Amino acid sequence: MNRRVLIPAAVLAAIAAAGVWWFTRPAPTVNPDPPPVRADDDGPPVFEDVTADSGVSFTYRNGEESDRYTILESLGGGVAVLDYDRDGRLDLFFTGGGVIDATTPVTVRGLPGRLYRNLGGWKFADVTAAAGLAGAPFYSHGAFAADYDRDGFTDLFVTGFGGVALYHNEPSPTGGRWFVERAAAAGLTDNRWATAAAWADLDADGFPDLYVCHYLDWSPANDPVCTGNGVPRDVCPPQRFKALPHRLYRNNKNGTFTDVTSTAGLRADGKGLGVVVLDLDGDGKPDVYVANDAGDNFLYLNRGGMRFEERGFSAGVAVDEHGLFNGSMGVDAADYDGSGRPSLLVANYQGEFHALYRNLGGGRFRYHTAPAGLGRLGQKFVGFGTALFDFDRDGWEDVAIANGHVLRHPVGSTFKQRPVLLRNEEHDGRRQFRELPGKGGAYFRADRMGRGLAVADLDDDGRLDLVVSHSNEPVTLLRNVAAPERKWIGVEVAARDGRDRAGTVISVTSDGRKLTRYVKGGGSYLSTSDARVVFGLGSADAPVEVAVTWPGGPTHHYANLAPGRYWLLTEPDPVKK
């Protein structure tokens, strides 16, 4: 959420004042062309909004009704997709946000999140209270699921202003499962404003470690009044505040964590809002990429032993085409171009393009927004939830981005903004993203306050669905109805002895093309997506071979797998073997 003025103004000034070409020639009589006609309502829907009949009815509240215009209200909330009760269906947890009371100084209270159990057939039941999640210890933002103690049940880490919560998944006294909050006991005691987080085994000991982004030093005691564009007050820009240091916690393998920030080589700056973990330089170790607001993005290359080297600038992923940092929020990574390497997609603030950093191999990237067709979106969006996923099962990773402004009175854009759905297509000899005719359905044609976004196959039909959290608007469940005739194969990986899977690389060769997918830590914005991967196979329906490269480990091949279903691929035990 960057409100940079100086350098762009300088560039404009240089162009305007220097008079690169002084332009005073008159015009013959030709009128400017009329604005382009947009066929917004043409084209079949790709996603159907099925929220109304699903039993899911929940709204994240950011507290803006108090009209205190705090920067706290700008971030919004997320959604975690997890099978908390191991019934084989993916459940949904939404963070609740909070209330900002119009006292002096302001006071901030949390609102509870909501856990919905998936009953199948697109029906969900509210199980929040029974699952022990009815409390609201702080104003919440993100939800990040992982089995941190490798007991076979997925736990939940929740971030926010005023604290973090580590909800351990335990047997409920009344039967079933519930969550017990254990952050303090686990050593997660940094209560400064926390936003995005990522679980991943960074030191190859099998247990997921935890990277936590912290944002900035706003507080009720540090709550300046900022004027807006033509209005007496608006939300303050992040530049008015100091960055908070991020945290890296090593999993002690006993349910507790050790803060290793100071020895891991992390930078002290960065107003972090997004993080994704996967192997970005091809050395077999998961790396950490951090999307920062109003500052350079970070690329922490994993050097082993819980040591990292920040190489964002030299790798080409810290800034944009103009050498300027962006206001970055959401982030995801995928092999969008068939190179076998994961590229990075970053959702940015108004006045900037959403950035695609194409992975060239060897730890080098190229800012590739325009060649990838993303320049066509313009610079009016403020992007949050970000996903690279193959919604039409043609084998190419597509894009969804949830947008919505943070300013109440933006200039040159709108408060609510439409989300975008982009299809990966071949144009001009390379892969590019294009909006679909009709934008992909009614949901994508309306303006919204999009924030968290998760990708998940909620009905296990091989078509990846979407769940979106909005600020002060109900959450939305979008059922994928695209291209039902296309073939697919789904893969869930189970690493040996339940060790963490983030960093696993899975590939399928189909119709002579190698498709590569990644099991990631973090990703998107304040959310957790389905950990399974789906390969779109187009029209190919022959059995395929799946190659799984485990984090830091060997590659195993699983032959003759029939399409049209999910496969659980387990890592062979080398000792038993």
Partner 1 sequence: MGNRIIPLTVLALLAAAGGWFAFGPGARRTDHRAEAEAAAGRRDFVAARDHLARYLASDSADRDAHLLAARISRRLDGAATEEHLGRYGELGGDREVLELERALSRIEAGDPAGSGRVFDFCMKHPDHPAAPFALESLTIGMRKIGQPDRALRCAKEWLRVAATPADRAAAHVGRGQALAMKGLGAEAAEEYRLALAESPTDVEARFHLAEFLSRDELVEALKLFRGLDAERPERPEVRLGMARCQRQLGDHTAATAIMTPLLAARPDDPDVMTEAGTLALDRGRADEAEDLLRRAVSKAPDRRTPNVQLLRCLQERGKTTEADAQRARVKQIDDELERRIAAMSVKP
Chain position carrying tokens 């209200």: 73
| Closest distance of CB 490 from partner 1, Å | 32
Considering only residues 432-451, where is the footprint of partner 1 by CB under 8 A?
Answer: 432
Give, for 180, the enclosing helix (H) or strand (E): strand 177-181
At residue 311, the 3 state secondary structure works out as coil
For residues 150 and 434, which CB has a smaller minimum distance to partner 1 in the complex?
Answer: 434
**What is the contact mask toward partner 1 in residues 318 to 357, using x (rule: CB under 8 A)?**
---xxx---------------------------x------
- CA dihedral 225→231→235→239, nearest 10 degrees, is -70
Q: Minimum distance between the CB of residue 348 and partner 1, rounded to whole angstroms?
A: 13
Scanning 107-115, 130-138, 365-373, 467-475 for contacts with partner 1 by CB under 8 A, the matching segment is 365-373
Contact between 126 and partner 1 per CB under 8 A: no
Q: How far apart (Å, rounded) are the C-alpha atoms in residues 516 and 553?
A: 17
Q: Does 111 bind partner 1 (CB under 8 A)?
A: no
Q: Is 313 in the site for partner 1 (CB under 8 A)?
A: yes
**Nearest residue (CB) to partner 1, 141 versus 354:** 354
- Scanning 4-12, 275-283, 297-305, 542-550 for contacts with partner 1 by CB under 8 A, the matching segment is 4-12
Which three-class secondary structure state does DSSP give residue 14? helix
| Joined tokens for residue 206 | 């099998």
Residue for token digits 């944002």?
215
Residue 520 neighbours by CB under 8 Å, 6+ apart: 198, 200, 276, 277, 278, 332, 333, 502, 503
Size of site (CB under 8 A) for partner 1: 59
Binding-site string for partner 1 from residue 217 to residue 256, where x marks contact by CB under 8 A and - marks none: ----------------------------------------
User: From the CB of 364, what's the least distance to partner 1, in Å?
Assistant: 6
| Binding of residue 408 to partner 1 (CB under 8 A) | no
Nearer to partner 1, 32 or 173 (CB): 32
Separation of alpha carbons 107 and 98, rounded Å: 10
Distance CA 345, CA 275 (A): 11
Of 34 and 175, which CB lies nearer to partner 1 in the complex structure? 34
Indicate the Cα dihedral angle 315, 352, 418, 433, nearest 10°. -50
Supply 548's token pair: 């799984």
Q: Least distance to partner 1 from the beta carbon of 232, Å? A: 19
**Interface with partner 1, residue 560, by CB under 8 A:** no
Residue 408 C-beta: closest distance to partner 1, Å: 17
Q: Which of 98, 112, 295, 373 binds partner 1 (CB under 8 A)?
A: 373
Distances (CA, A) of 566 to 23, 52, 462, 479, 534: 62, 28, 8, 18, 8
Pick the piece of the chain touching partner 1 (CB under 8 A) from 177-185, 371-379, 415-423, 453-461.
Answer: 371-379
| Cβ-contact 476, 443 below 8 angstroms | yes
H runs (alpha helix) in 426-527: none
Query: Is the CA virtual torsion 83, 85, 86, 89 positive or negative?
Result: negative
- Please select the residue that binds partner 1; options are 116, 367, 384, 535, rule is CB under 8 A: 367
Span from 31-39, 96-104, 189-197, 435-443 in contact with partner 1 (CB under 8 A): 31-39
Taking residues 173 to 212 in sequence order and writing x for each that binds partner 1 by CB under 8 A, - otherwise, the string is ----------------------------------------
| Peptide bond preceding 28 in cis form (omega within 30 of 0) | no
**517 and 535 Cβ atoms separated by less than 8 Å:** yes
Question: Minimum CB separation from partner 1 for residue 155, in Å?
Answer: 40
To the nearest whole angstrom, how small is the minimum distance from the Cβ of residue 366 to partner 1? 6
Q: Which of 208, 316, 383, 385 binds partner 1 (CB under 8 A)?
A: 316
Residue 409 binds partner 1 (CB under 8 A): no
375 three-state secondary structure? helix
Give the whole-angstrom CA distance, residue 448 versus residue 417.
Answer: 5
**Reading across the β-sheet that carries 420-427, which strands appear in turn?**
383-389, 398-403, 420-427, 430-435
Which is closer to partner 1, CB of 267 or CB of 496?
A: 267
Q: Is 39 in the site for partner 1 (CB under 8 A)?
A: no
Among the listed ranges 152-160, 255-263, 358-366, 392-400, the one in contact with partner 1 (CB under 8 A) is 358-366
CA separation for the pair 31, 13 (Å, rounded) = 28
Out of 102, 129, 184, 370, the residue judged to bind partner 1 by CB under 8 A: 370
Choice between 120 and 362, CB closer to partner 1: 362
Tokens (6 digits) for 556: 């195993």
Phi, psi of 424 (to 5 degrees): -80, 115
CA distance from start to end of the chain: 52
Contact set with partner 1 (CB under 8 A): 5-17, 19-33, 35-36, 313-316, 321-323, 351, 360, 362, 364, 366-368, 370-373, 375-376, 378-380, 411-412, 427-429, 432
